[in-house]
Amino acid sequence: MRHFLACLTAVLMFSAAPALFAANSGDADIDKRIDELMQKMTLEEKIGQLNQYSSTFDVTGPAPTDGRNQERFQKIRKGLVGSMLNVTGVEATRRAQQLAVENSRLGIPMIFAFDVIHGYQTMFPIPLGEAASWDLEAVELSARVAAVEAAAAGLHWTFAPMVDISRDARWGRVMEGAGEDPYLGSLMAVARVRGFQGANLSADDTIAACAKHFAAYGFAEGGRDYNTVDISEHTLRNVVFPPFQAALDAGVATVMNAFNEIGGTPATASAYLQREVLKGEWGFKGVVVSDWNSIGELVPHGVAADLSQAAQMAMNAGSDVDMEADAYVEHLPKLVKSGAVSEKHIDDAVRRVLALKFHLGLFDDPYRYSDEKREKERIYNQKHLDAARDVARKSIVLLKNQDNMLPLDKTKGVIAVIGALAADKDTPLGSWRGKAVANSAVSLLEGIKAAVGDGVEVRHAPGPPLGKGERSFLKELELNFTDPTGMDEAVAAARGADKVIIAVGEEAFQSGEGRSQVDIGLKGLQMQLLQAVKAVNPNVIVVLMNGRPLVLNWIELNFPAIVETWHLGSQAGHAIADVLFGDYNPSGKLPVSFPRHVGQMPLYYSQKKTGRPGPDPAGMVFWSHYTDAPNSPLYPFGYGLSYTTFGYSKLKLSTKKLDFDEDLTVEVTLKNKGDRAGTEIVQLYVRDLVGSVTRPVKELKGFKKVTLDAGASQKVTFKLNAEALAFYTARGKWEAEPGDFQVFVGPNSRDLLDSRFTLKGK
Ligand code: NOJ
């Protein structure tokens, strides 16, 4: 398994050595303390360590009633709860910890977990947005800040990063991952794990990370959340597993299993995934936590007749901790007594949980994360907000800039700022927003007003509202398709303005868990607003705010400038204004293909060629294509513009015949051809021309972020070797196959220079 990080080392040099999570191996002192403790534990107390409850409020499922809470408090007092989620803040976590430490027989502290996905209270861009920065230091910093804040709020564990590769924009959780590519996804996974965990889990500013959801949750049929997955081992190993392996190599402390089934077996009950691959083949020593009630869901999945059978299946399959199903605590004691579950499995799971508690330092001081002063100082401070602004502007992708319409002049003129999202202080916080305070983001309008001088008149009219009623993580959002109130005012504001900035896209809770959609275009009355504005003013800059790739054909055809800003977090408005007015030259690149039509899903650049790649030379119809749209995306993976332009030339390889144990140097000359400094993300792709199994038409194998002054040139080099060319072959091995390869370098996955080399046999 070490192969993966090994071939990424060149890119990861910036960062400190990973804090390898040793769990119950390699640390003799911890092992001894665990042995001693386990000898004192009853079977029930051991199983209690595997039981995880949510706090009284909840975020992704039905909340327990008050009576049930009393019962749960009792269980904590009896040492029957090992960890909790959704208890946050020093005061609440301290009170909960006291219940366990001061009342239970052995006083074993609990772990407090929370979904800290893109920030605790200071919000950074949604993970898909951050991935668009292709900036590993920025992504690590974002996770670092999130960890500092979460740890200061009494937390020990985040359920992040989500490392699911996703190639279907209908799936709402696309926003939570790093996009479609396993190479980029692996690097993002490593950066996030390092950011959360730092070098030492027991430090008061680090938290345990969790690579989720194991496995293939992003491959739900039809993009419908929680739906069936049927995926080959070939795709699992080549596409889905690599980011998990990279997270493990980076020392991730925990892994979460998944709601979905794969080929008839729900992931939570899959011994293949959890025991054979994760804990066996890859030697994972940390904790495997179930997803929310995913053990209970084995019943509706139809593989367990009742909760007891579900508990038996999940434990035997290697799920260590039961989140919210009550399956383990209620049923494992008698299952062990009857011999249906081996006590060895329980002991192994308990050791993993206790090891995590030791690593977090909880046995030395269960209240080490409970410091009110630290909580006040470390959460939502100016330093964190500045970091959020910087990561946010790095995440912006310039999709179109005809006739250099951008950047805008901030000294004079009339700017109309319209669209329902323009003054929205909540949407930029995105979905999965931790403890962000509602409506706390800097809106686009505020960002623009703060950026321009007195000579600029800023007009604002929102146009028709996008959503109706309550906005909530828990509830379906109701969109406004009928009420045009505000349309006329918005058109009037646009009329005669020098420039119109129109913010359109998705509200925060249009993407995220449970938010799958069949239509990934602009919803509500946004298209009507765009049409009406275009009719009165052609000088329009479209600012997109969204959590998934959108279908943008009409916008691309009809507007001169388009800026993709995702849901950028607390400082969104300032970050967008930095780009709009040229204080920051955009450099983001799409981590995911933007389709022309939802019917292209799943869409990804590293597709297979098929036996009929076409077009057919005789003009016949029998090749792999659509007859009503091109196969290609509107904007390809890796795409993004700058206010300057870059030229690529002189692609050179150090050799055309590469020995198996040799490094190939790929060199290209990059020139900044414009009149301002800019940053380019230079991308390296490879195609294995003939394999023992079919190979993608291109695979990302490296990238470099290069900043050049106007007119400057630089040679950019990459190293390739057999290890980097390895994949899961027909022999069931991760290895490179000798033969011919095409190598490509360029600004995105479509517009590339190319050359060839041959990898010689061993
Ligand atoms: C369900 C989600 O799938 C998972 O990612 C999350 O960590 C848990 N709920 C806990 O909130």
pLDDT confidence bin for 70, thresholds 50/70/90: confident
Strands (E), 137-233: 157-158, 210-214
Chain centre distance of CA 227: 19
pLDDT confidence bin for 2, thresholds 50/70/90: very low
The answer to whether residue 570 is domain-embedded is yes
Give the structural domain span for 28: 2-375
Of 181, 291, 424, 688, the active-site residue reads 291
Residue range 565-582: mean pLDDT, rounded: 99
Phi, psi of 65 (to 5 degrees): -75, 170
pLDDT confidence bin for 56, thresholds 50/70/90: low
**pLDDT value for 5:** 47
Q: Is the peptide bond before 161 cis (omega within 30 degrees of 0)?
A: yes
| Residue with CA at minimum distance from ligand 1 atom 4 | 291
The answer to whether residue 638 is domain-embedded is no
Q: Is the pLDDT of residue 346 over 60?
A: yes
- 350 lies in the same domain as 404: no
How far apart are the C-alpha atoms of 678 and 616, rounded to whole Å?
Answer: 41
Cβ 203 under 6 angstroms from ligand 1: no
CATH number at residue 438: 3.40.50.1700
- 365 lies in the same domain as 403: no
Ligand 1 centroid distance, CA of 482 (Å): 34
Residue-wise pLDDT tens digits, 119-139: 999 999 999 999 999 999 999
Q: Catalytic residue at 322?
A: no
Tokens found for residue 34:
């665990």
Tell me the HSE value of 429 on the side-chain side, using a 13 A CA sphere: 21
Q: Reduced to 3 states, what is the DSSP secondary structure of residue 730?
A: coil
Ligand 1 centroid distance, CA of 27 (Å): 31
Helix, strand, coil fractions of the chain, as percent rounded to 5 = 35, 20, 45
Which residue has 């050179």 as its token pair? 652
- 250 lies in the same domain as 139: yes
Ligand 1 centroid distance, CA of 114 (Å): 9
| Residue with CA at minimum distance from ligand 1 atom 1 | 292
Ligand 1 centroid distance, CA of 179 (Å): 19
| Ligand 1 atom closest to 61 (CA) | 9
Residue range 109-121: mean pLDDT, rounded: 98
Q: How many CB atoms lie within 10 A of CB 374?
A: 18
Edge-to-edge strands, sheet with 646-653 = 646-653, 664-672, 713-720
CB under 8 Å to 393, separation ≥6 — which residues?
A: 575, 576, 578, 579, 584, 586
The answer to whether residue 627 is domain-embedded is no
Ligand 1 centroid distance, CA of 432 (Å): 10
* Residue that terminates a domain, selected from 318, 340, 375: 375
CB under 8 Å to 482, separation ≥6 — which residues?
A: none
| Residue with CA at minimum distance from ligand 1 atom 10 | 292
Which ranges constitute the DSSP H helices of 213-259? 233-235, 241-249
Which residue has 């109706």 as its token pair? 468
Q: Is the pLDDT of residue 501 over 70?
A: yes
CB under 8 Å to 300, separation ≥6 — which residues?
A: none
**pLDDT value for 55:** 84
Residue-wise pLDDT tens digits, 282-303: 999 999 999 999 999 999 999 9
**pLDDT value for 19:** 39
**pLDDT value for 27:** 83
Residue range 431-435: mean pLDDT, rounded: 97
Helix (H) or strand (E) holding 623: none
The answer to whether residue 628 is domain-embedded is no
Number of independent structural domains in the chain: 3
- 419 lies in the same domain as 470: yes
- 225 lies in the same domain as 361: yes
Q: Is the pLDDT of residue 9 over 90?
A: no
Handedness of CA 526, 531, 535, 538 (dihedral sign): positive
How far apart are the C-alpha atoms of 601 and 356, rounded to whole Å?
Answer: 40
**pLDDT value for 725:** 98
The answer to whether residue 612 is domain-embedded is no
- Asked whether 161 and 211 are in contact (CB, 8 A), the reply is yes
pLDDT confidence bin for 72, thresholds 50/70/90: confident
Residue range 622-650: mean pLDDT, rounded: 98
Cβ 507 under 6 angstroms from ligand 1: no
- 209 lies in the same domain as 357: yes
Ligand 1 centroid distance, CA of 176 (Å): 11
| Ligand 1 atom closest to 159 (CA) | 7
Cβ 159 under 6 angstroms from ligand 1: yes
Q: Is the pLDDT of residue 599 over 50?
A: yes
The answer to whether residue 552 is domain-embedded is yes
CATH number at residue 693: 2.60.40.10
- 135 lies in the same domain as 260: yes
Which ranges constitute the DSSP H helices of 495-604? 526-536, 553-558, 572-580
The answer to whether residue 622 is domain-embedded is no
CATH number at residue 58: 3.20.20.300
Cβ 115 under 6 angstroms from ligand 1: yes
The answer to whether residue 229 is domain-embedded is yes
Cβ 523 under 6 angstroms from ligand 1: no
Q: Which amino acid is at 285?
A: K
- 367 lies in the same domain as 414: no
Phi, psi of 8 (to 5 degrees): -100, -5
Ligand 1 centroid distance, CA of 735 (Å): 34
| Ligand 1 atom closest to 213 (CA) | 5
Cβ 168 under 6 angstroms from ligand 1: no
- 450 lies in the same domain as 337: no
Q: Which of 54, 84, 159 to mutate to test the pocket of ligand 1 (most atoms within 8 A of CB)?
A: 159
- 439 lies in the same domain as 488: yes
In angstroms, the Cα distances linking 278 to 50, 158, 245, 343 are 18, 20, 9, 20
pLDDT, mean over the chain: 95
Taking the whole predicted model, whether its pTM rises above 0.75 is answered as yes
Cβ 291 under 6 angstroms from ligand 1: yes
Q: Which of 115, 225, 432, 474 to mutate to test the pocket of ligand 1 (most atoms within 8 A of CB)?
A: 115
- 289 lies in the same domain as 408: no
**pLDDT value for 66:** 61
- 580 lies in the same domain as 662: no
With a pLDDT cut of 90, the percent of the chain lying above it is 92
- Asked whether 463 and 487 are in contact (CB, 8 A), the reply is yes
**pLDDT value for 20:** 40
